[in-house]
Amino acid sequence: MFITQPMKLTVVLLSGLFLFACDDSDDDSSGATTMQVYNVSSNSSPLTYEFDDSYTLSDISFSDATSPSTVNSGTYSLVISGVNSNGVDDEIYDGEVSLSGEQRHLFISAGDYSQLELYSVEYNLDDLGDDTMRLFVADYSTDSPGYDIYLGESGLGFELASLISTTAYGEAVLVGDYGLDVYDVYLTSVGNSEVLFTAENVSLTGETAYFLVVRDSFGATETGIAIDKVLLSSTVIHYEDNYANAQYRVINVSPDAVSTSLKSGDDEVRSELVAAKGVTEYEILPYGDYSLSIMNEAEEVLLNNLLISMPQNATKGIAVYQDEAGATQSIAFEESVRAIAFNSDITLANLSYDLDDVDVYFVPEGETLESTDYDAQDLDFEELTTGVLPSGFYQISVVLERDDDSMLLLYQSDILEFAAATNYSLLLFKDDTAEFGYDMAVVSN
């Protein structure tokens, strides 16, 4: 139910040494205020916000927010820091911000990490009526052309939805107050009725404020956007396009060449023959739940009917390997395709059937296994773990700690470059032809 007319919300862009713009509203510096931070800089590492020496908000990853904090109003020196090219924390923003009393403040970091943009939104909920919510929309997607946003009652379709706003990059708009309900959200290009993006079953059922934020997304999506629902908590709800495709690739660490088939109803997607230690390109397929079959060169089925779920815009690796009995097995895992400045997302899997509790060390040039800060501990067979590695050159060592506290070296790589803004999947597997009996597939995403 639409209650009030749309209006532009006062938004201040604070860009440190680049630009400083001021809000022309009246300043009420008395009393307390509420402050929240949301990070939508798509290639950023986790950020830390320091307001003087009074308040520190840390480890704010892309598409995440902090819980609202009640703070004293006034003017603060704000320093935002994150990881630099040397892998250490560095200041990327230094400026002043004003927190008006009796207002709520949402700080939004956006844009490229190297030239971080800071936006400040002021609003309040003092006049919010019963059984209503207050809706804002914003757009921080890279190179956004602007979108028309439609809102409709869930399940009734686009034809019965209403145009509520047109976005522009860097703008937050107060759309109005609505009845509490579950809605469908549609995006079209400006002035066009062809739906580009659909988010279904968006719950807006609390007497509070909701921000629907258009931001970057990564994977098989054709539009390259998603919607975040930011509310007055640290929980950010992410909506991919309900009708987006997914993508996968096959990483074969078994000793034999294989092909794969993914079936869902009448749909089937097959891979070409993948050599031992080979990897395919990403294959796009409709979202859904699939049955995976793996065949050898003679088309004999080695593994059948393994369930693989491919949600909207998912990117997954499908690893093929052997167990202790020599039977073919497979595991699917999510792969990160978001480029991160100065860092790499790492997905690490132990697919060596005779190894449990192994430790994996990433040793930078000039350091040793004992001095490195980067490792994964106690990895069991078929266990996966993820982490972030600063870009640079590393040697990977896999070791097993024995009962007498000595360490057995199982695998040691050459010096490898982990390039900035590139992510990797690493699969440890049994290989009797390798020097120590084990090998590792290092595959960039």
- 6: nearest Cα among 144, 151, 155, 201: 151
Please give the residue range of the domain that contains residue 283. Answer: 245-334
pTM of the model: 0.89
Mean pLDDT by 10 residues, the chain (445 residues): 34 35 38 93 95 92 96 94 82 92 93 94 94 98 97 97 98 97 98 97 97 97 96 96 97 97 94 95 96 97 97 98 97 96 96 97 95 96 95 96 91 96 97 95 96
Contact 277, 252 (CB under 8 A): yes
Residues 101 and 122 in one domain: yes
The per-residue pLDDT for 435 is: 92
- 231: nearest Cα among 211, 215, 214: 211
Residues 349 and 443 in one domain: yes
Instruction: Specify the DSSP element, H or E, that contains 277.
Output: none
Per the structure block, which two tokens stand in for 357?
A: 């509790």
Domain boundary among 219, 239, 259: 239
Q: What is the CATH number of the domain that holds 438?
A: 2.60.40
Residues 177 and 254 in one domain: no
Residue 1 is assigned to a structural domain of this protein: no
Residues 344 and 300 in one domain: no
Residue 295 is assigned to a structural domain of this protein: yes
- CA dihedral 70→71→77→83, nearest 10 degrees, is -30
The per-residue pLDDT for 316 is: 98
Residues 203 and 78 in one domain: yes
The per-residue pLDDT for 49 is: 96
Domain count, the chain: 3
Tally of helices (H runs) and strands (E runs) in the chain: 0, 36
Give the C-alpha separation, 167 to 173, whole Å.
Answer: 8
Residues 265 and 187 in one domain: no
Residue 2 is assigned to a structural domain of this protein: no
The per-residue pLDDT for 32 is: 87
